[in-house]
């Protein structure tokens, strides 16, 4: 156990966590040069395409230190984006230490702070790492000051590195061994392990990722999940070393996986405690705080018979995405589906893409909404996150919406731009304070509904990439909401309804209609798109019909070209939903919320 | 033929259409027209090396078993070839391909390129059908299209063709040109009818990616004609030509009917729509031998280089799947006014036509877009305007 170190790499998005993991992996010869690729731990297609980490990944590295001893370094690479903080916090629960990376040219940003606080909550030992020192724009002294003044850490403990160039890696590995504590826990005591993640394997069933705090586990053991008393016989235990490497035993302090023929997907819960059926431990571990979804949207299959497949897919995805919550939902326009809660818009997009890619589904997501509290005339309260359930307005006494406290860190030259952006979104400026090096922390209170869609992108744009943002939900405040309905050729499409602030309702209605007009392809008849509040039409757009849709000529026997075009059109159509006679593309459902053309 | 089709007999060869068509692509033009995305070059010095390669290609694909009843010189502008060049190609075709005695031998002609002497010569060496790229009888429109000829050239060439003895003359016209009003188009049609051509192709101008016209549109040099206006012109065309004794047999093609009987359809073009086998020669030319489609490289240099090494200049070939064949059968069938031959379709694909398409066809029928009887399924005059949308609703 003295030779084990469990640590996470944490940082603001893009500060180089996955690249640093690459260097550790190469330094310890975990993969051959031939099999190596950049950000090797970002295994999902969607991570590679977007160049960001979405899932935390564990890898166990054998490292021979200067003292001649071989250590097992359990490294967890974590995501930096604010939507995936839940991944970070679960990773931290199985560690004793953390490397906090800071990009030498960007300096401390919002998630640097947020993740530092998370690590402190878990009482972890922290090694600050100044990364990207190879960049011409690197300013190590500035970052040193920030580490001292903004983070309150000792800058002398910081290690300078370039993950890209491989500078400082050896120093870093040595200090992990020397400065981070080894795990503690009795390998002879009754088994006590924390499930911090899992995934589904079509051949082996559920693969449980866990950290052992006590005891020893080996194939053949009868284990029990303490939350539901489900019992399984362990088939295999092992370590993550890019691939799964089976071991004879795992014991206290180690991080690894187990396979136990778990076919009932819902048996495995993140945060649950694993023990032995016949020698249970005294009490379960505290587990994790539930993820608190902030954005809600309904998911429907495009195929009319796709509900069953979607159900199975969600169950399996849930194993690998503990933050996802869902319940059954139905829509007149779209049939059966699920109402889902997400940690943010990126999380929503990721869930959609994973369901589509990993489970080969074609899906429609409805316009995302936050959760409102509605006080009815009779004094009772309703909690609503689905516009379809919005009650008759005459029965409503008042409506409350969630507010956040947003902390925005920017160089002071962008102060005006940020101020404008936040005020446009109904924000209230509470405070601002100077940080080191001409940077500001601006604090706003904002309605959550105003930031869920594209606030972060907008912030990036107006601050030319220098602004960063973190938020907490603070309270619910009284507001004036109305339900905006969309009618297509006179028929209300429930899946397109949204709750909007009264003062902006008309503008939003016009906007939604314009968006839909641009998204809905022309057909052989005219398509009227109307926005309505109560019974009143507030906006109207039309998609003009085709007056002709014919190709003049087939080119000298080139039938292939035209056929390919038809095949492409047909494929596009499979991703559209028929509402009445009108084909509505998948993308249209989310487009109504986008604020302008980009 | 040295191309193997897997030894299977063609799915589509029917008793009425057993014979082969041969298309020869001549990739040269004096100048590129503004709307054109056909493969052609303006460097006429390359003509002779190209002709040499073409003769080699013909030698490579030749086969005794295949009887051809059409030969079609298209392009590009075949009439930029010298008389001697045309003659060698014709001679090679006669020597190497088994042309039926009644074969339809067509050459496309650009009015700006030929003389009476040239036309006489064409007729003399056995070309029996001429297709003249008139496009318009309006000065302004010809200029807009970037054509090299004037309206006068066109009328002159038509008359010279008659004088040379051509009794099967086709004219190409284009409509839906920005700024073209209904009466200008009617005038074009009426002028064309003065010459009583055996065949008329009336194409809607389409602005293809990468053409000069496309650039002009992007720079807002003109506004494309409104769809409704084009639709109106399409209907006007149908009416005027019907009244003048022409049968529309395909979306863009009309044939003169003589004595209520013989219609002067283009035998060659019908092969494309009826799944008859055809061989395309020259760069970029397409060939079909069910279920195989293949095409030549679209580059004279690569074309000649392949042939110099004794290889066919084929760029790619694809074996169409049943599903793709169904798509093609619907797409092509509905382009023709005879429509899809239901019994034939059912036999080929083992599909119950009514069961498969009945519901969709019923809606289309109610909207007056298709006509279906026991033997055939075709688009109505209105339906033709929506050919693409309709096909999309039917294909698998
Ligand atoms: N110049 C330079 N670039 C680096 C260095 N480390 C990482 N990068 C680059 O920074 C970008 C982001 O690197 P990642 O390793 O994906 O960052 P990350 O922290 O894992 O990002 P998330 O997982 O999305 O939070 C990539 O383009 C890297 O090549 C470095 O030391 N120097
Ligand atoms: S003459 Fe015909 S092939 Fe040549 S450029 Fe003009 S349209 Fe194209
Ligand atoms: Mg990463």
B40 CB within 6 A, ligand 2: yes
Cα dihedral across residues A210, A215, A221, A225: positive or negative: negative
Task: Measure A333 CA to ligand 2 centroid, in angstroms.
Answer: 51
What CATH architecture applies to the domain A482-593?
Answer: 2-Layer Sandwich (3.30)
Question: What would the pLDDT profile of B253-287 be if each residue is shown by its tens digit?
Answer: 999 999 877 789 999 999 998 889 999 999 999 99
What is the pLDDT, as a whole number, of residue B18?
63
Query: Model ipTM?
Result: 0.90
Residue among A252, A262, A257 at smallest CA distance from A241:
A257
Topology of the domain comprising A295-365? Alpha-Beta Plaits (3.30.70)
Sequential pLDDT tens for chain A (598 residues)? 889 999 999 999 999 999 999 999 999 988 888 889 899 999 898 999 989 999 999 999 999 999 999 999 999 999 999 899 999 999 999 999 999 999 999 999 999 999 999 999 999 999 999 999 999 999 999 999 999 999 999 999 999 999 999 999 999 999 999 999 999 999 999 999 999 999 999 899 999 999 999 999 999 999 999 999 999 999 999 999 989 999 999 999 999 999 999 988 889 999 999 999 999 999 999 989 888 898 999 999 988 789 999 999 999 999 999 999 999 998 888 889 999 999 988 899 899 999 999 999 989 888 889 999 999 999 999 999 999 889 999 999 999 999 999 999 999 999 999 999 999 999 999 999 998 878 899 999 999 998 887 788 889 899 988 888 888 889 999 999 999 999 999 999 988 999 999 988 998 899 999 999 999 999 889 999 999 998 899 999 999 999 999 987 756 788 999 999 999 988 888 778 888 889 898 888 878 776 664 3
Q: Match 């920017």 to its residue by tokens.
A: A410
What is the pLDDT, as a whole number, of residue B65?
65
Task: Measure B389 CA to ligand 2 centroid, in angstroms.
Answer: 29
Q: φ, ψ for residue B334 (rounded to 5)?
A: -80, -10
Domain boundaries, chain B: 3-273, 322-394
A162 CB within 6 A, ligand 1: yes
Site from B385, B393, B394 to mutate, A interface, most A CB atoms within 10 angstroms: B385
The answer to whether domain A295-365 and domain A372-479 are alike in fold is: yes
How far B266 CA sits from the closest chain A CA (Å)? 13
B76 CB within 6 A, ligand 2: yes
The residue ranking higher by pLDDT, B18 or A339, is A339
Topology of the domain comprising A4-179? Rossmann fold (3.40.50)
What is the pLDDT, as a whole number, of residue A332?
84
Would you say A306 and A356 are in contact if contact means Cβ atoms under 8 Å apart? no
What is the pLDDT, as a whole number, of residue A115?
94
Q: In this model, does residue B3 exceed pLDDT 70?
A: no
Q: In this model, does residue B163 exceed pLDDT 90?
A: yes
Q: Match 């295994």 to its residue by tokens.
A: A43
Per-position DSSP letters for B133-187, written without gaps between them: EEE-S-HHHHHHHT-SS-HHHHHHHHHHHHHHT-S-EEEEEEE--TT--HHHHHH
Task: For residues B142 and A502, give the distance between their C-alpha atoms in angstroms, rounded to a whole number.
Answer: 58
Contact A560 B293 (CB under 8 A): yes
Task: For residues A551 and B386, give the distance between their C-alpha atoms in angstroms, rounded to a whole number.
Answer: 9
DSSP assignment, residue A422? H
Task: Measure B140 CA to ligand 2 centroid, in angstroms.
Answer: 18
A578: region left, alpha or beta (phi > 0 left; psi from -120 to 50 alpha): beta
What is the pLDDT, as a whole number, of residue A580?
82
The secondary element (H helix, E strand) that includes residue B271 is helix B267-274
Would you say B312 and B377 are in contact if contact means Cβ atoms under 8 Å apart? no
Contact A551 B226 (CB under 8 A): no
Q: φ, ψ for residue A535 (rounded to 5)?
A: -95, 0
* Nearest protein CA to atom 13 of ligand 1, as residue: A16
Question: What would the pLDDT profile of B301-310 be if each residue is shown by its tens digit?
Answer: 999 999 999 9
Cα dihedral across residues A433, A452, A308, A202: positive or negative: negative
A399 CB within 6 A, ligand 1: no
What is the pLDDT, as a whole number, of residue A238?
97
Would you say B201 and B162 are in contact if contact means Cβ atoms under 8 Å apart? no
Cα dihedral across residues A384, A386, A392, A398: positive or negative: positive
Residue among B128, B123, B75, B76 at smallest CA distance from B99:
B128
Question: Strands A222-225 and A325-331: what pairing?
Answer: unpaired
The secondary element (H helix, E strand) that includes residue A230 is strand A230-233
What is the pLDDT, as a whole number, of residue B5?
38
Which residues in chain A are contacts of B389 at CB distance < 8 A? Answer: 523-524, 546, 549
Task: For residues B94 and B90, give the distance between their C-alpha atoms in angstroms, rounded to a whole number.
Answer: 6
Contact B335 A554 (CB under 8 A): yes
| Pair of tokens at residue B388 | 């693409």
Contact B392 A569 (CB under 8 A): yes
Rounding to the nearest 10 degrees, give the CA dihedral for residues A452, A455, A460, A462.
180
Task: For residues A533 and B134, give the distance between their C-alpha atoms in angstroms, rounded to a whole number.
Answer: 58
Task: Measure A51 CA to ligand 3 centroid, in angstroms.
Answer: 8
A500 CB within 6 A, ligand 1: no
* Nearest protein CA to atom 24 of ligand 1, as residue: A52
Mean pLDDT of chain B: 92
Count of A-B CB contacts under 8 Å: 94
Which residues in chain B are contacts of A523 at CB distance < 8 A? Answer: 389
Site from B175, B267, B272 to mutate, A interface, most A CB atoms within 10 angstroms: B272
B36 CB within 6 A, ligand 2: yes
Task: For residues B16 and A464, give the distance between their C-alpha atoms in angstroms, rounded to a whole number.
Answer: 70
What is the pLDDT, as a whole number, of residue A595?
64
Topology of the domain comprising B3-273? TIM Barrel (3.20.20)
What is the pLDDT, as a whole number, of residue A259?
97
The angle subtended at Cα B44 by Cα B39 and Cα B48, nearest 5°, is 100
Q: Which of A546, A553, A563 faces B331 most closely, judged by CB atoms?
A: A563
A129 CB within 6 A, ligand 1: no
Question: What would the pLDDT profile of B102-154 be if each residue is shown by its tens digit?
Answer: 999 999 999 989 999 999 999 999 999 999 999 999 999 999 999 999 999 99
CATH of domain B322-394: 1.10.10.920
Closest residue in chain B to residue A568, using alpha carbons only: B392
DSSP assignment, residue B35? T
What is the pLDDT, as a whole number, of residue B93?
94
B75 CB within 6 A, ligand 2: yes
CATH of domain A192-276: 2.40.30.10
DSSP assignment, residue A456? H
Would you say B66 and B98 are in contact if contact means Cβ atoms under 8 Å apart? yes
Residue among B242, B274, B265, B272 at smallest CA distance from B348:
B274
Find residue A536's DSSP bridge partners. Answer: A533
pTM listed for this prediction: 0.74
Per-position DSSP letters for A539-587, written without gaps between them: EEEEEPPPS----S---TT-HHHHHHHHHHHHHHHHTEEEETTEEEEHH
- Of the listed ligands, the closest to the CA of B38 is 2
Would you say A51 and A15 are in contact if contact means Cβ atoms under 8 Å apart? no
Distant-in-sequence, close-in-space partners of B211: CB < 8 Å, separation ≥ 6: B34, B35, B36, B37
Would you say A95 and A78 are in contact if contact means Cβ atoms under 8 Å apart? no
Q: Which of A546, A555, A562 faces B389 most closely, judged by CB atoms?
A: A546
What is the pLDDT, as a whole number, of residue B8?
35
- Of the listed ligands, the closest to the CA of A102 is 1
| Pair of tokens at residue A472 | 């907490």
Q: Was domain A372-479 assigned CATH 3.40.50.2030?
A: no
Instruction: Tell me the best of B43, B76, B114, B214 to mutate to test the pocket of ligand 2, counting ligand atoms within 8 Å of each CB and taking the most.
Output: B76
Per-position DSSP letters for A132-163, written without gaps between them: -TTSTT--HHHHHHHHHHTS---GGG-EE-BT
Domain boundaries, chain A: 4-179, 192-276, 295-365, 372-479, 482-593
How far B164 CA sits from the closest chain A CA (Å)? 27
* Nearest protein CA to atom 32 of ligand 1, as residue: A132
């Amino acid at each position: 156990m003295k030779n084990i170190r469990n640590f996470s790499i944490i940082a603001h998005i893009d500060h180089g966590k996955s690249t640093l993991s690459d260097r550790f992996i190469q330094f310890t010869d975990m993969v051959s040069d031939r099999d190596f690729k950049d950000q090797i731990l970002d295994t999902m297609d969607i991570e590679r395409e977007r160049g960001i980490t979405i899932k935390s990944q564990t890898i166990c590295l054998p490292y021979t230190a200067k003292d001649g001893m071989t250590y097992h370094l359990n490294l967890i690479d974590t995501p930096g984006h604010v939507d995936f903080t839940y991944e970070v916090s679960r990773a931290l629960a199985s560690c004793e230490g953390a490397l906090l990376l800071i990009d030498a040219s960007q300096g401390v940003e919002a998630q640097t702070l947020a993740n530092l606080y998370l690590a402190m909550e878990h009482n972890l030992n922290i090694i600050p790492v100044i990364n990207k020192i190879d960049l011409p724009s690197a300013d190590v002294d500035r970052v040193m000051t920030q580490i001292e003044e903004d983070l309150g850490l000792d800058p002398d403990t910081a290690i300078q590195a370039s993950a890209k160039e491989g500078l400082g890696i050896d120093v870093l590995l040595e200090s992990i061994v020397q400065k981070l504590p080894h795990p503690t826990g009795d390998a002879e005591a009754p088994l006590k392990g924390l499930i911090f993640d899992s995934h589904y394997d079509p051949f082996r069933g559920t693969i449980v990722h866990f950290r052992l705090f006590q005891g020893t586990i080996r194939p053949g053991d009868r284990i029990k999940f303490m939350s539901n008393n489900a019992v399984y016989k362990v088939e295999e235990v092992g370590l993550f070393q890019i691939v799964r490497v089976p071991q004879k035993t795992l014991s206290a302090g180690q991080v690894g996986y187990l396979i136990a023929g778990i076919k009932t997907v819902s048996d495995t819960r993140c945060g649950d405690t694993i023990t032995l059926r016949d020698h249970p431990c005294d009490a379960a571990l505290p587990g994790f705080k539930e993820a608190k979804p902030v954005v809600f949207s309904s998911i429907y299959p495009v195929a009319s018979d796709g509900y069953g497949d979607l159900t199975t897919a969600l169950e399996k995805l849930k194993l690998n995405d503990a933050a996802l919550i869902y319940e059954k939902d139905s829509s007149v326009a779209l049939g059966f589906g699920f109402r889902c809660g997400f940690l943010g818009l990126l999380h929503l997009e990721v869930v959609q893409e994973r369901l589509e890619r990993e489970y080969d589904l074609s899906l429609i997501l409805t316009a995302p909404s936050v959760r409102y509290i509605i006080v009815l005339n009779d004094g009772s309260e309703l909690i609503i996150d689905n516009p379809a359930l919005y009650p008759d307005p005459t029965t409503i006494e008042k409506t409350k919406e969630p507010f956040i406290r947003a902390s925005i860190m920017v160089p002071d030259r962008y102060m005006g731009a940020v101020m404008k952006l936040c005020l446009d979104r109904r924000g209230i400026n509470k405070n601002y304070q100077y940080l080191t090096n001409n940077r500001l922390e601006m604090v706003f209170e904002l309605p959550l509904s105003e930031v869920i869609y594209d606030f972060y992108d907008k912030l990036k744009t107006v601050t030319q990439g220098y602004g960063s943002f973190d938020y907490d939900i603070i309270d619910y405040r009284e507001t004036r909401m109305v339900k905006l309905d969309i009618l297509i050729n006179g028929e209300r499409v429930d899946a397109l309804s949204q709750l909007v602030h009264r003062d902006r309702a008309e503008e939003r209605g016009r906007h939604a209609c314009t968006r839909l007009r641009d998204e809905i392809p022309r057909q052989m008849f005219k398509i009227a798109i109307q926005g309505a509040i109560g019974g009143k039409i507030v906006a109207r757009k039309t998609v003009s019909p085709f007056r002709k849709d014919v190709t003049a000529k087939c080119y000298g026997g080139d039938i292939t070209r035209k056929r390919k075009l038809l095949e492409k059109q047909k494929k596009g159509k499979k991703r559209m939903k028929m509402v009445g006679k009108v084909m509505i593309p998948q993308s249209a459902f989310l487009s109504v919320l986008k604020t302008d053309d980009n | 033929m040295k191309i193997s089709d897997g030894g299977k007999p063609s799915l589509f060869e029917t008793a009425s259409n057993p014979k082969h068509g041969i298309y020869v692509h001549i990739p040269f033009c004096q100048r590129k027209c503004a709307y054109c995305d056909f493969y052609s070059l303006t460097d006429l010095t390359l003509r002779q090396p190209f002709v040499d390669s073409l003769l080699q290609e013909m030698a490579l694909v030749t086969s005794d078993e295949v009887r051809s009843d059409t030969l079609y010189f298209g392009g590009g502008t075949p009439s930029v070839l010298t008389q001697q060049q045309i003659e060698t190609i014709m001679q090679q075709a006669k020597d190497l391909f088994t042309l039926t005695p009644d074969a339809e031998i067509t050459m496309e002609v650009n009015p700006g390129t030929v003389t009476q002497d040239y036309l006489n010569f064409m007729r003399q060496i056995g070309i029996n059908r001429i297709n003249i790229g008139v496009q318009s009888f309006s000065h302004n429109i010809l200029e807009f299209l970037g054509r090299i000829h004037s309206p006068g050239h066109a009328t002159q060439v038509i008359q010279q063709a008659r004088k040379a003895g051509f009794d099967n003359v086709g004219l190409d016209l284009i409509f839906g040109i920005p700024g073209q009003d209904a009466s200008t188009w009617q005038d074009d049609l009426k002028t064309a009818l003065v010459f009583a051509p055996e065949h008329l192709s009336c194409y809607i101008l389409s602005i293809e990616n990468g053409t000069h016209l496309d650039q002009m549109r992007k720079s807002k040099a003109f506004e494309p004609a409104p769809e409704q206006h084009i639709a109106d012109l399409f209907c006007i065309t149908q009416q005027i030509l019907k009244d003048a004794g022409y049968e529309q047999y395909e979306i863009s093609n009309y044939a003169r009917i003589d004595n209520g009987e013989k219609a002067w359809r283009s035998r060659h073009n019908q092969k494309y729509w009826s799944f008859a086998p055809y061989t395309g020669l020259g760069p970029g030319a397409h060939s079909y031998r069910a279920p195989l489609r293949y095409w030549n490289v679209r580059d004279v240099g690569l074309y000649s280089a392949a042939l110099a090494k004794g290889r066919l200049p084929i760029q790619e070939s694809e074996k169409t799947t049943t599903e793709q064949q169904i798509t093609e059968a619907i797409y092509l069938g509905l382009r023709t006014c005879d429509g899809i031959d239901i019994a034939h379709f059912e036999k080929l694909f083992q599909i119950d036509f009514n069961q498969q398409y009945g519901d969709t066809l019923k809606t289309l029928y109610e909207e007056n877009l298709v006509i279906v009887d026991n033997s055939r399924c075709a688009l109505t005059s209105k339906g033709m305007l929506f050919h693409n949308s309709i096909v999309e609703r039917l294909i698998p």
